[in-house]
Amino acid sequence: QVQLVESGGGLAQAGGSLRLSCAASGRTFSSYGMGWFRQAPGEEREFVAVITRSGALRRYADSVKGRFTISRDNAKNTVYLQMSSLKPEDTAVYYCAAEVSGVLTTTPNNYDYWGQGTQVTVSS
């Protein structure tokens, strides 16, 4: 079993920045593809960003492209989401997720493990 713990959420003003972290347990973190998703009340869970196990390949939702950056530090078993130029529509609970095959996928159902989420609120 893999445990994922998100942190770094909070309140930001529009145009501001936050960096989310996701700390993973286990010895095989470097084998996982890691994704960030978000979910606002009444909305479906939405893909945000994904990074392959090596960190060489990344993909972003169109809504965050150019503003968010996903990265990982396999030595620290941690994946990050640097968020800049925040918009009120970025307000959501943000979840990190692990995909054990280490592939690049944007589909929530393809992910095997999920964190509990961290709230991000962006005020206008």
Residue 28 pLDDT more than 90? no
Q: Is 111 helix (H, G, I), strand (E, B) or coil?
A: coil
Rounded average pLDDT over 17-37: 93
- The alpha carbon of 116 is separated from its chain's Cα centroid by a whole number of angstroms, namely 12
Could you report the per-residue pLDDT of 29-84, keeping only the tens digit for each? 889 999 999 999 999 999 999 999 989 999 999 999 999 999 999 999 999 999 99
DSSP characters over 58-107? EEE-TTTTTTEEEEEEGGGTEEEEEE-S--GGG-EEEEEEEETT------
